[in-house]
Structure 1
């Protein structure tokens, strides 16, 4: 082979590999840990504690750490309330004790990294929300934010700073928790639509979101899955036109 052809062949091979990897990522399904997050979040939101115990065991067996699961259950209180979240945590405590009696040692996992910044929580939350939505948040307030400015403050300071800023879970994992809760409680289609768009923004693929629907169908029910599928179809249809 002529020496001057080698760089060209290398570039062709590199491009082919990149295209193949991109295609694989597009077609990639949710992994076992991600499916477990959906199962845990959805059954906690519904208050189905017996089913939650199954999902918690599945998640631990799939490799989720204790802290990751705790974080998922804490996260979801912002979308379905303290009662569901606390009952979820209590159920998780029972599951861990039962596994300990059986001689199973589960990995605790990393703690959240300390936040080191001089910016206010409102500013930090605004930056995170801009990343998630891919939309600037510095314009005049509209809708519910204008009607009740307090909730805009709570959302940015607490939800998107205090909660989303914690690095135990990735943004994609947090969005899996969020869409699982919203789909499970039902009658919140505008919120589900917004967070499905965010899920795509943070790297989840259409294939993975269809997987999410399948887990909702198995853990919560056909009615909830059908409603969520309708919203997902609308989101993907809109995305395809952009």
Structure 2
């Protein structure tokens, strides 16, 4: 197994409750390795074992800028967006343990079908299906196919449509139509994943795949939806470990510029 795969597999299980906002406030939380134990990591790469302990388990995941629930959401989104399903089962279970509901996990996969591609989402579905079966999560715990949607912000939608028209012109009218419906007039209005979390998943997907052209717009939307500047910056940090430093450094300057402009 490559060191990249080992790092992706060097994960932790953090027993928590949904009401606890940060790892640092959870003194009773137990940490254990997952599919690749610390001993197994050290048997191949002692240095990687040290980094896993010091920088991932005791460092990254203990930082208070993101709750463990949000770190779980971000990490699942990274793995789905990059179609890295080898350790997705562990991180989905971790997310459920850390307060993400089955409805929210289902909606994260649905949302990423539009932002990371249909096949990446369907690959994740197979993993989630096994987890739901193991946890006895039935249809009654999943989102409705066609729920009552949240109210559309008409002013914001008008701004968004003008922006899309400016980008596409008349080159791809059907793409513009699909972007309006189902994406912004249906997917974004589904009630079982909060707008703030949809934005969190969206910017994570864009950063994880190095797609920064749309990042500024979606980051501004995320901040409008309740994501804080500290949380936005910490997503970049999580990206570095789970999608690589180059993707983090591609996203970092965009995030910095957006935050700078919003402070002016």
The 1:160/1:233 distance shift into structure 2, 3 A limit, reads same
| Structure 1 residue ranges without an equivalent (≥5) | 1-27, 118-123
* Pair 1:202-2:238 in alignment: no
Residue matched to 2:60: none
Superimposed CA distance per residue, residues 116-137 of structure 1 (whole angstroms, 9 cap, x where no aligned partner): 79xxxxxx8xx44744x79474
Kept after mapping to 2: 8 A contact 1:128/1:160: no
Shift of 1:140: 9.9
| Structure 2 residue ranges without an equivalent (≥5) | 1-63
Distance in 2 (alpha carbons) for counterparts of 1:176 and 1:54 = 20
* Pair 1:153-2:189 in alignment: no
* Normalised TM-score (structure 1): 0.72
Superimposed CA distance per residue, residues 42-93 of structure 1 (whole angstroms, 9 cap, x where no aligned partner): 1111111123222111101102111210110111010121110000111112
How many pairs are equivalent? 199
Residue matched to 1:111: 143
* Pair 1:162-2:194 in alignment: no
User: Whose helix fraction is larger, Structure 1's or Structure 2's?
Assistant: 1
Distance in 2 (alpha carbons) for counterparts of 1:206 and 1:223 = 21
User: Which of 96, 110, 118 does residue 60 from structure 1 map onto?
Assistant: 96
* Pair 1:69-2:92 in alignment: no
The 1:139/1:239 distance shift into structure 2, 3 A limit, reads closer
Answer with 146-155 or 56-65: which moved more. 146-155
Residue matched to 1:179: 203
Answer with 46-55 or 56-65: which moved more. 46-55
Kept after mapping to 1: 8 A contact 2:89/2:131: yes
Higher relative contact order (CA 8 A, sep 6+): 1
Superimposed CA distance per residue, residues 131-174 of structure 1 (whole angstroms, 9 cap, x where no aligned partner): 4x794746993231443222221111110122111100011100
User: Which of 228, 232, 236 does residue 251 from structure 2 map onto?
Assistant: 228
Superimposed CA distance per residue, residues 4-58 of structure 1 (whole angstroms, 9 cap, x where no aligned partner): xxxxxxxxxxxxxxxxxxxxxxxx8332222211111111111111232221111
Distance in 2 (alpha carbons) for counterparts of 1:109 and 1:214 = 32
Distance in 2 (alpha carbons) for counterparts of 1:88 and 1:140 = 29
Distance in 2 (alpha carbons) for counterparts of 1:144 and 1:227 = 24
Kept after mapping to 2: 8 A contact 1:110/1:168: no
Kept after mapping to 2: 8 A contact 1:60/1:106: no
Residue matched to 1:211: 234
Structure with the greater alpha carbon radius of gyration:
1
Superimposed CA distance per residue, residues 167-209 of structure 1 (whole angstroms, 9 cap, x where no aligned partner): 00011100111111111111x2221111111111111111010
* Pair 1:93-2:129 in alignment: yes
